[in-house]
Amino acid sequence: MMHGQSSSLGWQSSINLSPLGFQFLPINYQALFLSQINTISFISCAQACHSNGNCRIFDFDDQSLLCRLSEGNIITMGSIVASSSAQSRVGSKIYYAEQFNNLDQSCSLCEGSRYMRCINNTCQCEVHTYFDGSICQSQKLLGDVCVNSTECRSDLNYTCLPRQQCGPPSIQVGTIVAGNANGTSGNALTTLNFPAAITIGIDNSVYVSEYHNNRVLQFQEGSLTGSLVAGTGVAGSSTNQLNGPTGVYVDTSLNIYVTDSVNYRIMFWQKNSSFGVRVAGTGSSGNTLSTFGLAAGLFVDSQKNIYLCDKYNNRVMRFSPNITNAIIVGGTGIAGSGIQQLNAPISLYFDELNSYLYVSDSNNHRIQRYHVGVSINGTTVAGGNGQGSGSNQLNTPYSLWISTINNYIYITDTGNNRVQRWSFGATYGLTIIGNGAIIRNDSTSLQGNADIRLSMNGSDLFVSEVMQNRIWRFQLI
């Protein structure tokens, strides 16, 4: 640590130094880089940063004599990385609350300060900084967590979005990727009719299970015209037909699994095949280990085990390949609100790496997680605080998906017309899409049941607005 001494705390600097052989790498060079100069020494580079109120980080190469000045919080806005020069090192200013005691006071009290400037006759934070209750902190960049918009870089058109992340307001607006934007239904390849479920293939295509059109359509990335990949569009029980499909899953080979709900079976379509094969269910409704009632959510793991929400029998079933009878891996088969019980489960996600099964327990207004293979294993990970619209509540959750990147739980909260995001271990969620509006007026509103999926790289969120016959894509940050 080095100190530049003066009579005023608003003038002096304390600086942390890195070892030799390192340089600063900002996460956004264009937003954080201020300038570079050639100077005679590290001390003179430090003085240049000290004299610039916006400079918070600098590095100096004693071989090239290059001094680079940057804005930003060195902890969150970049990294100290190895340099190609053994004589390069990084310095970063240290800030103390006492340096900002005169915030909002008369400008005479911060005259000559390197940490505040005079705005409207009062001492205020420097440009691209905000007061965090202690110091003037660097404003945040795209995707950073925020509480209010003063925390975000307004010069980059960032505001604090409803999802409590800094970003441009335009990022909240969705794009239609399938169906009519006005919500009208149809049976052409450009229209949808009650798209009950969606999934995303490794080819980034959107696969849509249409309940009323008795088919599965594939929409390739960038195309609003689908292609028929399962079913004929006419209800039936033949091997090439579907009747009220409610769930769809596409494996890494682009083979298709479909919950054929009115036929009480799971059908498997090999890629490019015109006919399916029944891989679970008997074709008749029941509550035995080989039968199920109204089935909804569907997931298939890498071993081709099929996980199925048996909604009206209040259980999750797992069918192994070529085995007629399932194993119950969630719920008891009796509706209830105990940790082991479910009440009308609709959607599920299986985290194969950790053997965690997540279930949308709709009538209990919660998301339950089961540790498959462990006897006493039910845990509420979202909701569970009664039916309601509070940030710690859900109202008849329809669908869920888990991010493999950050373990966020994304939930379509039907009764509240919103999509919630819950962090791992959180006691409340954030609304990232929807505003609770009953009358739709823009693409940040949602109505009713909606199925949800993430793109393969986690950068986009797809929402099937079931009763509005359209599918949206929202960008994530």
54-106 per-position pLDDT tens digit: 999 999 999 999 999 999 999 999 999 999 999 999 999 999 999 999 999 99
Contact 217/236 with Cβ under 8 angstroms? no
CATH code, domain carrying 463:
2.120.10.30
Mark 263-286 as b/e (b = at least 16 C-beta within 10 Å).
bbbbbbbeeeeeebeebbbeeebe
Residue 444 pLDDT greater than 90, yes or no: no
Is residue 123 domain-shared with residue 40, that is, in the same domain? no
Is residue 29 domain-shared with residue 11, that is, in the same domain? yes
pLDDT in tens, 21-32: 999 999 999 999
Residue 114 pLDDT? 82
* Confidence label for 443 from pLDDT (cuts 50, 70 and 90): low
Q: Which amino acid is at 109?
A: L
Is residue 340 domain-shared with residue 415, that is, in the same domain? yes
**Which among 62, 94, 126 is the end of a domain?**
94
CATH code, domain carrying 60:
3.50.4.10
Of 12-16, 23-27, 430-434, the poorest mean pLDDT is in: 12-16
Is 156 inside a domain boundary? no
Is residue 322 domain-shared with residue 466, that is, in the same domain? yes
Closest CA to 314 of 334, 295, 299: 334
* Confidence label for 10 from pLDDT (cuts 50, 70 and 90): low
If you average pLDDT over residues 11-16, what whole number do you get?
80
Is 149 inside a domain boundary? no
- pTM, entire model: 0.89
| Total domain count, the chain | 3
Closest CA to 93 of 39, 139, 53: 53
**CB-based contacts of 125: which residues, under 8 Å, 6+ apart?**
100, 103, 116, 117, 131, 136
Domain span including residue 34: 2-94
Mark 58-76 as b/e (b = at least 16 C-beta within 10 Å).
bbbbbeebbbbbbbbbbee
If you average pLDDT over residues 9-13, what whole number do you get?
62
Is residue 469 domain-shared with residue 423, that is, in the same domain? yes
Rounded CA separation 292/477 (Å):
40
Name residue, tokens 């304390």. 14
Is residue 449 domain-shared with residue 353, that is, in the same domain? yes
Is residue 112 domain-shared with residue 69, that is, in the same domain? no
Q: How many CB atoms lie within 10 A of CB 236?
A: 14
Is residue 118 domain-shared with residue 186, that is, in the same domain? no
Residue 138 pLDDT greater than 60, yes or no: yes
Considering Cα of 267, then 217, then 465, then 166, what sign does the dihedral take? positive
Distances (CA, A) of 236 to 209, 232, 258, 403: 15, 9, 14, 36
Is residue 27 domain-shared with residue 119, that is, in the same domain? no
